[in-house]
Amino acid sequence: MNYRKTLLAVSIISSLCVSSAIYAQDSTDTSSTQQQKKARADDVKNLSTVVVTGIRGAVEKALDIKRDANSNLEVVTAEDVGKLPAHNVADTLQRLPGVNISSASADEGGFDEADRVSLRGTSPSLTQTTIDGHAVGSADWFVLSQGSNMGRSVSYTLLPSELVSRVEVHKSSEARLMDGGTTGSVDIITRKPLDFTKQFTTNLTVGGVHSSTAGKTDPQLSGLFNYKNADSTFGVMVQLFKQKRSLQREAQELPAGFTTIAPGSALATSNPDLSGVRVPSLLGSTLFTQVRDRKGGLLDVQFKPADNLTLDFNAFRSDMSANNYNRNFMLWGGNFATTQAPQPGYVVKNNVLTDATYAGVPGTNYIVYDMISRDATSKASYYTLDADWQASENIEGKFQVGTTKGTGETSAQYIAEVTAANGGGASWSTHGISAPVDWTVGGDISPAGVTGFGTWGNQQVKAIDKEKWGTADFTQYFNSGVLTSFNYGVRFAKHDREVQSPEGASPGNIWPALQGAATGNYPSNFAAGIGGSFPTNIWYFTPGALKSAITANSTWLSNNDGPTGRHNYGAEYSVDERNMAAYFQANFQGDNWSGNVGLRYVNIKQDINTYFAVAAPVVPDVSSLFGAWTRVNTKNNYSRALPSANLKFNLASNVLFRFAASQTQTLPDYSALGASSWGSDLSKTGGGGNTHLKPVLSTNFDAGIEWYFMPRGLLAATAYSMNMKNYVAYGIQTQMLFSELTHQLEPYQVSMPVNADAKVSGVELAYNQPIGDNFGVDANYTYADGSSAFTWSDGSNHLLGTSKNTYNVGAYFESDKFGARVSYTARSSFLIGLSGASPYYQDKFGTLSASLSYKATDWLSFSLDAMNLNNPTYKYYETVNIPHAFYENGRQYYLNAHLSF
């Protein structure tokens, strides 16, 4: 017997029995008419459209919506048009109980603003993000997120906060909600033209953002114009934005982790205490710079040709140029530390060579230096057409057709890799994760000291994410009894995800063109915030010099998929999915209780195309300079009924008890399904997909108490559990992959996704307290205890993204003229994924932010938002003795003037 399904069925049947019993008791009560119940629903709807201003109004509105909801819901509302509590949507959500944020989706490391959102200690891919209830195509600017590490989460960097009216976080499921979020869903609600109170509304925000590490101030511009006619039967809203931001991240990275001195090697034989000891493969002094230039807009047109029919057309587009330049000046431990003996006095602790000094050996390069300039973009758009039809006094229908597309592209990578410090010797001293590794290198590390040069030409990656859908939703209202309404409907969607890697150019002799080319230097105070002692006075070729040299000295091939071309078939795949769903939901309401029970049926068909590396005598389907492959097609078909139930009881006039039970489902990440196996020639490790992965099925229970002890006041506690079947973890397999160095198949340790059971349980606490008329405080805490039946290579059973402790504390002040808010958010360490074949983690961190506002007149106000005021260092590690990276991003200040007419 399936215990999860049995327990859930008992819970939902019990809920139905309770509802039926109460319905039988109240069936003769005619005091609750159909018009009264529709009025209650209209009250909730109107709450979401009324215009509120200020911190206090936003808090009160959010709590009202939460209180009236039958399901477990968290809400953030805009304090005014174009003003969320934080400057970034994801940063705003991290202040809610049970919400975690991360600033990266792959191996790009920590940045200065949140990019991904997850719920209750789980991976971002298990949290679904929608806009106005529909899907939005996801797009990423980072090359690894575009290809080999591609999840189902949405990048928030393309979603300006100025577009948002409110954000709803659904922690318990309802049958009427779109399936796809195992642990919950985030719905970003935009404004509608007919929601505005005035016939004409104009808002304009002009300002700038200053980054402390980049030392630059960039312009920020957004505007809104709304018109509706006097009869409120026609309205047009236009929102436009153009926002530029300079980033500079200063770091120490260890991109290849630690390597092992092989037992039985000459070094292990001469120094037996070094046998099997781990040493840094690469120790990097890393400077990353980027300019993110985001522009786009939203158009919404509403028309009511009849009293019972409203039509709505909505269009959104966001384009972001995200060109970036990453320089990593690295001590090349993998080139000498596994063969050369350190000088006497070295120290080994916990099987790690923590302190070592190496004499210079002529002919040995102690430095390898990567300079990678990328032309990158990400784009997202959607178009929807809605019809809201009041078919009769008791039946309402909503229809929608739509399409969305996201594109993330790295159109060019201009790469130079040089070796240097010939015979110079080196040293290092590690400190675990408490501080960066101290290291030095001798020899000539200037451009004149370069001893070797390599490049990989113009590598291209493009990810395309598309969906088309149609929905029909109906509500049937009733005139008496506790059964207030039925929701029922259908949805069809076709989703396509494709990765292309046509490469583009075969590089020639680049080095002569770069010798004597323009160079720059690392900042004089480089990495001062992360500590440690390592080289910082470092030169680099300018992006323009790299681009000119590589473009002028590369062979551009017209036949990229031939044996002489650089078409990287091994990096390409596609996942096509067709989703058909139908649901039924019954909504109940009595004197002191309400709730819903429903069932959603989902059928999903997958068509996955990928490539598998082969060698003679197998005849390949395609081949190029990157190897030979055969095409593999896999088809999957999954059907499942997903039940849900939500009950709310009024224990007192201001005390609520909630209970929820549901089953939810999420499909595996696109790269987990489709990615062809790939490998790094340096570490002989890699990754790949598994086309036979099953969807993650979660059985969820929630129970909580909420005490609304005064207006804007809340004290709440919720316990939750999620039992996940077919959770996706990553195991290690040995596979034969094509080596670009030897041009033949060689064994690699490849991380492969596998299904395994997992569970998360925990507690959420929330507190909101107004103090007098002008002050207020808020705080929340989330405890998440997660584990998996899968055991990682380090012996742990951690879940991806699970922080055991997350908390937020904040305070605000607001008068008629002035407003101020300060907040601190922190989360404990969590598992990121695999670095090569080893799990790695992000260490605990906290961020401090603050905002000030001043209302000069009824039409002019000013705001100052400050993020990362504590300038946190983001630390990544494999173990407490083996660090992975230390990042400093600096502080960001947004100063804006807001005009409203």
Model confidence pLDDT, tens digit, residues 809-827: 999 999 999 999 999 999 9
- Alpha carbons 629 and 618: distance in angstroms, whole number: 9
Strand partners, 726: none
Strand runs labelled E in 41-132: 73-77, 99-102, 116-119, 127-131
Query: Residue 407: pLDDT band by 50, 70, 90 thresholds?
Result: very high
Model confidence pLDDT, tens digit, residues 171-223: 999 999 999 988 899 999 999 999 999 999 999 999 999 999 999 999 999 99
Query: Residue 792: pLDDT band by 50, 70, 90 thresholds?
Result: confident
Does 48 score more than 80 pLDDT?
Answer: no
Query: Residue 86: pLDDT band by 50, 70, 90 thresholds?
Result: confident
Does 105 score more than 80 pLDDT?
Answer: no
| Lowest-confidence region among 5-9, 100-104, 454-458 | 5-9
User: Which of 834, 641, 648, 816 has the alpha carbon at shortest distance from 728?
Assistant: 834
Burial class (CB in 10 A: 0-12, 13-18, 19+), 664: buried
Does 563 score more than 70 pLDDT?
Answer: no
Query: Residue 102: pLDDT band by 50, 70, 90 thresholds?
Result: confident
Model confidence pLDDT, tens digit, residues 640-654: 999 999 999 999 999
Contact predicate 796/786, CB 8 Å: no
In this structure, what CATH number is given to the domain that contains residue 382? 2.40.170.20
Query: Residue 681: pLDDT band by 50, 70, 90 thresholds?
Result: low
Q: Which domain holds residue 736?
A: 3-900
Instruction: Provide the pLDDT for residue 16.
Output: 40
Please tell me the total count of domains within the chain: 1
- Alpha carbons 121 and 117: distance in angstroms, whole number: 10
Average pLDDT over residues 75-94: 80
Contact predicate 744/729, CB 8 Å: no
| Lowest-confidence region among 140-154, 241-255, 394-408, 837-851 | 140-154
- Highest averaged pLDDT of the listed ranges 264-273, 442-451, 787-796: 264-273
- Alpha carbons 344 and 277: distance in angstroms, whole number: 16
DSSP code string of 378-401: EEEEEEEEEEEEE-SSSEEEEEEE
Average pLDDT over residues 125-148: 88
User: Quick one: what percent of the chain has pLDDT higher than 90?
Assistant: 65
Average pLDDT over residues 847-876: 94
Query: 3-class SS at 482?
Result: coil
- Alpha carbons 243 and 294: distance in angstroms, whole number: 5
Model confidence pLDDT, tens digit, residues 613-634: 777 777 888 888 777 888 989 9
Query: Residue 569: pLDDT band by 50, 70, 90 thresholds?
Result: confident
Does 11 score more than 50 pLDDT?
Answer: no
**Residues sharing a CB contact under 8 Å with residue 121, sequence separation 6 or more, in sequence order:** 100, 760, 762, 782, 784, 785, 786, 799, 801, 802, 803, 804, 806, 830
- Alpha carbons 324 and 140: distance in angstroms, whole number: 13
Instruction: Provide the pLDDT for residue 83.
Output: 74
DSSP code string of 406-469: EEEEEEEEEEEEEEEEET--EEEE-BTBSSPPEEEE-S--SGGG--EEE------EEEEEEEEE
Pairing of strands 426-429, 347-349: unpaired
Higher pLDDT, 443 or 39: 443
Which token pair is 808? 């937020």
Does 89 score more than 80 pLDDT?
Answer: yes
User: Which of 567, 654, 674, 537 has the alpha carbon at shortest distance from 147?
Assistant: 674
Pairing of strands 278-280, 258-260: antiparallel
Average pLDDT over residues 770-790: 94
Query: 3-class SS at 295?
Result: strand
User: Which of 692, 712, 680, 714 has the alpha carbon at shortest distance from 834?
Assistant: 680
Rg (CA), the chain: 29
| Lowest-confidence region among 539-548, 585-594, 787-796 | 787-796
833: left (phi over 0), alpha (psi -120 to 50) or beta: left
Does 329 score more than 50 pLDDT?
Answer: yes
Query: 3-class SS at 173?
Result: coil
Query: Residue 861: pLDDT band by 50, 70, 90 thresholds?
Result: very high
Instruction: Provide the pLDDT for residue 4.
Output: 42
User: Which of 227, 244, 246 has the alpha carbon at shortest distance from 296?
Assistant: 244
Instruction: Provide the pLDDT for residue 303.
Output: 97
Query: 3-class SS at 807?
Result: strand
- Alpha carbons 72 and 65: distance in angstroms, whole number: 11
Average pLDDT over residues 516-520: 91
Query: Residue 570: pLDDT band by 50, 70, 90 thresholds?
Result: confident
Contact predicate 493/469, CB 8 Å: yes
3-class secondary structure per residue, 330-359: EECHHHHCCCCCCCCCCEEECCEEEEEEEC
Average pLDDT over residues 876-901: 94
| Distances from the Cα of 576 to the Cα of 494, 496, 499, 541, 568, angstroms | 7, 4, 12, 42, 21
Mean pLDDT score across all residues of the chain: 88
Instruction: Provide the pLDDT for residue 685.
Output: 66
Which token pair is 104? 């990266």
Strand partners, 36: none
Does 586 score more than 90 pLDDT?
Answer: yes
Instruction: Provide the pLDDT for residue 740.
Output: 64
Instruction: Provide the pLDDT for residue 84.
Output: 72
Average pLDDT over residues 525-535: 94
| Distances from the Cα of 372 to the Cα of 281, 401, 512, 564, 683, angstroms | 20, 42, 18, 24, 19
Average pLDDT over residues 98-107: 75
Which token pair is 680? 């790094």
Does 746 score more than 80 pLDDT?
Answer: no
Instruction: Provide the pLDDT for residue 80.
Output: 76
Peptide bond preceding 753: is omega within 30 degrees of 0, i.e. cis?
no
DSSP code string of 733-750: EEEEEEETTTTEEEEEEE
